[in-house]
Structure 1
Amino acid sequence: HMTGDASKFIDLTPKRSGHVTYGDNNRGKILGIGRIGTNFSTSIENVLLVEGLKHSLLSVS
């Protein structure tokens, strides 16, 4: 799970390194990891905050 919108996080831990690679081989810098949602009972954890990401991505399996 990834988003570029820091305001969506209810809990965020900054990261100093790391990148994600997109399907077109471009890369985005990981700025943090945390939990998004309206509160802790309705939230998604382990979401990456990625610099410049314009759309939120959710992986369901």
Structure 2
Amino acid sequence: MTEDPSKFSSLKLKNEGFVTYGDNNKGRILGHGNIGNSSSLTLIENVFLVEGSET
């Protein structure tokens, strides 16, 4: 998960609920998508775009 939308090669924006971090703080899931590209074999799929991510 990341809070930087510029990292995504494809992104579907959709309110998808919340994630809870190890310290019990919450971040809102704003969407999901892929980072990287399949032609260079560096594709990471189903990454969450999260508001308030601590990563």
Q: Same fold (TM over 0.5)?
A: yes
Partner of 2:6, secondary structure, is: helix
1:26 CA drift (Å): 0.7
Separation (CA, whole Å) in 1 of partners of 2:12 and 2:48: 10
1:16 CA drift (Å): 1.7
Partner of 2:53, secondary structure, is: coil
Cα RMSD of the aligned pairs, angstroms, is 1.2
1:15 CA drift (Å): 1.4
1:52 CA drift (Å): 2.1
**TM-score (norm. length: structure 1):** 0.77
**TM-score (norm. length: structure 2):** 0.84
By percentage of residues, which structure has more strand?
1
Specify the code of the residue in structure 2 equivalent to 1:11. Answer: S
Where has structure 1 moved over 4 Å in runs of 4 or more? none
**Aligned match of 1:47:** 47
Give the gaps of 5 or more residues in structure 2: none
- Indicate the percent of aligned positions where both proteins have the same amino acid: 64
Partner of 1:3, secondary structure, is: coil
Separation (CA, whole Å) in 1 of partners of 2:27 and 2:47: 14
**How many residues are matched?**
53
